[in-house]
Amino acid sequence: MAHALPRPVPHRAHPRHRLAGRCVAGTDQPAAPIGADAVSRPSETFRPLLRVRELSVRFRTRGGRDIAAVSEVSFDLAAGECLALVGESGCGKSVLASALLGLLPANARTSGSALLHHPARDAAPGPAGQDRPLDLLAADEATLARTVRGRRVGLVPQSPAAHLTPVRTVGSQLAEIVRELKGLRGKELAEATLAAAARAAFPADHLDRCPHQLSGGLAQRAATALALVGDAPLLLADEPTTGLDRELVERTVDELRAHTDDGRGLLLITHDLPAAERVADRVAVMYAGRLVELAEAGPFFGAPGPRHPYADGLLAALPERDFVPVPGMPPELGDLPDGCAFAPRCARAGAECAQLPVPSDGVACHHPVTTGRSVSASGRREGSTA
């Protein structure tokens, strides 16, 4: 049975297609570069929703080894923007999202900053300092629990089953969140709960089921419905389309994209590059804990294509393209080289790759790719190969 969302967002209407190759949504500033040079970006008019600088996460194992899960990640997320975060399994995407929400385990140590702004109020700072951005990495647990999670930052978790209460129906969990965040009661609450389920294409006739009675795809939709209720200014969606068929993938990412209307932001963590191409304004590519490329989605998926050899390989691995996987395996995050971590898998690697590349103009590579590609992630032809 098809469970329709109220209004699928037409692909061509996305802001990215109006902005591709130009500026970050709603600003006069170019897209943020990665790495240390991002810090020096002009900031008088650019008011990002989220400004992450030099974010690192280290896990200390029982054996005393350090796992470098996230290293010196810097990026901005503008109001109204969808940023897709992509990269192979284990490269640190979920750890990054957990760090932003204060959900890391006790053996984790973070450094850097992640400033969450009040988009509407930042234009006119208030007298009592209430409008100052909140550093999510420095905030205490009470602040995160009371004012951030679900309210200022929503999360579609990667493992919905682990985040849903197993012994309560989806309907009661959804109603509880709607009551808490919207203050509704009685008939209005029932109607708003049904509407919240429909937003994530969760079928109304399954609301009386407990999470363990649901398929993986339905549990995913339940988690998405819960995350959307608060209309949080920033939404982190960690693999929100796992277990969904193509049509539902597209409906789900369109609904998430619609979340960015009215100046809200979306960080979409996904393995699904065609889904990222469909809705993202920009793409951040992560490898072994580092951002290796941060690019406008239009040129990245179309022409001239990605510039980091790893990003180029990720796109080439798609069935719609060359269907050739990136050779080799990602490195152990507990035993990273001093230089470029991708070098052992990179056909372009040379002696200079023993040094860590300094990010420049959105790419961290000593010898970025310069030739273009001709086919989009979804297989669409986008002009000739450069």
Tell me which residues touch ligand ATP (CB under 6 A): 59, 61, 67, 69, 87, 89-95, 105, 107, 158, 333
Residue 147 interacting partner from Ni ion, ligand ATP, none (CB closer than 5 to 8 Å by kind):
none
Q: 79 or 318, CB closer to ligand ATP?
A: 318
| CB within 8 Å of 103: residues ≥ 6 apart | none
**Token representation of residue 317:** 């691995």
Q: 158 or 173, CB closer to ligand ATP?
A: 158
Q: Which residues pair with 363 in a beta bridge?
A: 293, 360
Residue 67 interacting partner from Ni ion, ligand ATP, none (CB closer than 5 to 8 Å by kind):
ligand ATP
Q: How far is the CB of 60 from ligand ATP (least distance, A)?
A: 8
Q: How far is the CB of 67 from ligand ATP (least distance, A)?
A: 4
Q: 85 or 248, CB closer to ligand ATP?
A: 85
Which phi and psi angles does 26 have, rounded to 5°? 75, 15
Q: How far is the CB of 290 from ligand ATP (least distance, A)?
A: 12
Q: Which residue is nearest to Ni ion (CB)?
A: 94
Q: 53 or 93, CB closer to ligand ATP?
A: 93
Q: How far is the CB of 330 from ligand ATP (least distance, A)?
A: 9
Residue 91 interacting partner from Ni ion, ligand ATP, none (CB closer than 5 to 8 Å by kind):
ligand ATP
Residue 89 interacting partner from ligand ATP, Ni ion, none (CB closer than 5 to 8 Å by kind):
ligand ATP
Residue 257 interacting partner from ligand ATP, Ni ion, none (CB closer than 5 to 8 Å by kind):
none
Q: 160 or 233, CB closer to ligand ATP?
A: 160
**Token representation of residue 349:** 């690697």
Q: 48: cis peptide before it, omega within 30°?
A: no
Q: Decide: 164 and 222 in contact? Cβ < 8 Å.
A: yes
Residue 80 interacting partner from ligand ATP, Ni ion, none (CB closer than 5 to 8 Å by kind):
none
Q: How far is the CB of 93 from Ni ion (least distance, A)?
A: 5
Residue 107 interacting partner from ligand ATP, Ni ion, none (CB closer than 5 to 8 Å by kind):
ligand ATP
Strands 282-287 and 82-86, how do they pair? Answer: parallel
Output 170-174 pairs: Cβ under 8 A, ≥24 positions apart: 170/197, 170/202, 170/206, 170/207, 170/209, 170/210, 170/211, 170/214, 170/222, 170/225, 171/197, 171/207, 171/208, 173/222, 173/226, 174/207, 174/222, 174/225, 174/226, 174/229
Q: How far is the CB of 250 from ligand ATP (least distance, A)?
A: 20
Q: How far apart are CA 71 and CA 50, in angstroms?
A: 18
* Residue 381: Cβ within 10 Å count: 9
Closest CA to 267 of 65, 63, 99: 99
Sign of the CA dihedral with 228 first, then 233, 237, and 240 last: positive
Q: 269 or 280, CB closer to Ni ion?
A: 269
Q: 94 or 224, CB closer to Ni ion?
A: 94
Q: Decide: 220 and 243 in contact? Cβ < 8 Å.
A: yes
Q: How far is the CB of 286 from Ni ion (least distance, A)?
A: 10
